[in-house]
Amino acid sequence: MLASAPGFRSLYGQREIHFEATYDDILERAYLPLPRGRVETDRQHLFPNLEDAIEGRVTIKGEEFFLRSDQGRHLEFSLLAEGISKLGLLWILIRNGSLPAGSVLFWDEPETNLNPKLFGVVIDVLLGLQRAGVQIFLATHDYVILKELDLRRKEEDEVVFHSLFRQKVTSDIACSSTESFLEIAPNAIADTFDGLYDREVKRSLGDLVQ
């Protein structure tokens, strides 16, 4: 959305176009100027990791978003990888105060188009926001995202894992919740990765496996 931002708000406000209101809401918040005063201290430590991940900071000229690199270059968001753009948007929302204590952040599949080496950065930032009073709903199909969350969380963090599944008898959608990663059940993600591991072991050992 940030890559296609110039002119979007005026077009969305005046014409019937096939975009959900979510996109307009995102841009409204992304365009917000910085709040007066300093950034809240419980968020300042989040910026270095994000800036290292995106290799710069986000700037706005008119209605266009740019990534200003450490070398002073300004790159249009349309030239950036999708995963970097998402981290850039997260940087903006934290920086301009759009995620205060008591707010809610929904993020569907943060792993999409994101380099796996940056998964840890994402989880650290989300845990930091949780500690600052932001409630976060994270949906994922990725084992590494789940395991990074399990390994990086602290004892005092408020993290609950929810597994959505369809009941065999009624076909209704049910939810199983737990605070322990090892107790997620059913866990299609872990089951799939366990299956891959078993097949790899069987291929490596060959005839030694009965």
pLDDT above 90 for 62 = no
Q: How far apart are CA 187 and CA 178, in angstroms?
A: 12
Q: Are residues 113 and 167 in the same domain?
A: no
Q: Are residues 119 and 202 in the same domain?
A: no
pLDDT of residue 12: 76
Q: Are residues 94 and 165 in the same domain?
A: no
Lookup result for tokens 């366990």: 194
pLDDT of residue 210: 59
Q: How far apart are CA 186 and CA 174, in angstroms?
A: 11
Q: Are residues 115 and 131 in the same domain?
A: yes
List, for residues 18-43, the tens digit of each pLDDT value: 878 888 888 889 999 888 766 667 78
Q: Are residues 46 and 136 in the same domain?
A: yes
Residue type, 1: M
| CATH (domain of 74) | 3.40.50
Q: Which of 87-91, 108-112, 205-209 has the lowest mean pLDDT?
A: 205-209
Q: Are residues 178 and 93 in the same domain?
A: no
Check residues 1 and 152 and name the one with the higher pLDDT: 152
pTM: 0.87
pLDDT of residue 39: 64
Residues spanned by the domain of 86: 8-159
Q: Are residues 84 and 107 in the same domain?
A: yes
Q: Are residues 129 and 172 in the same domain?
A: no
Cα torsion 142, 143, 144, 146: sign: positive
**Share above pLDDT 90 across residues of the chain, in percent, rounded to a whole number:** 64
Give how many domains the chain has, as a whole number. Answer: 2
Helices and strands of the chain, counted as H and E runs: 8, 7
pLDDT above 90 for 206 = no
Is residue 30 situated within a structural domain? yes
pLDDT above 80 for 104 = yes
pLDDT of residue 24: 85
Give which of 158, 1, 145, 159 is closest to 80, Cα–Cα.
1
Q: Are residues 193 and 111 in the same domain?
A: no
Q: How far apart are CA 165 and CA 139, in angstroms?
A: 14
Q: Are residues 175 and 145 in the same domain?
A: no
pLDDT above 80 for 65 = yes
Q: Which of 13-17, 121-125, 149-153 has the lowest mean pLDDT?
A: 13-17
Is residue 3 situated within a structural domain? no
Check residues 4 and 66 and name the one with the higher pLDDT: 66
Average pLDDT of the segment spanning 106-121? 94
pLDDT above 80 for 54 = yes
Q: Are residues 81 and 108 in the same domain?
A: yes
* Helices 143-152/188-205 angle, 10° precision: 110
Q: How far apart are CA 135 and CA 193, in angstroms?
A: 29
Average pLDDT of the segment spanning 85-103? 93
Q: Which band of pLDDT confidence, cut at 50, 70 and 90, is reported for residue 1?
A: confident
Is residue 71 situated within a structural domain? yes
Beta strand pairing status for 135-139 and 104-108? parallel
Is residue 27 situated within a structural domain? yes
φ, ψ of residue 191 to 5 degrees: the values are -60, -40
Q: How far apart are CA 12 and CA 170, in angstroms?
A: 42
Q: Are residues 48 and 68 in the same domain?
A: yes
Is residue 2 situated within a structural domain? no
Is residue 109 situated within a structural domain? yes
Mean pLDDT across the chain, nearest whole number? 90
Q: How far apart are CA 53 and CA 195, in angstroms?
A: 32
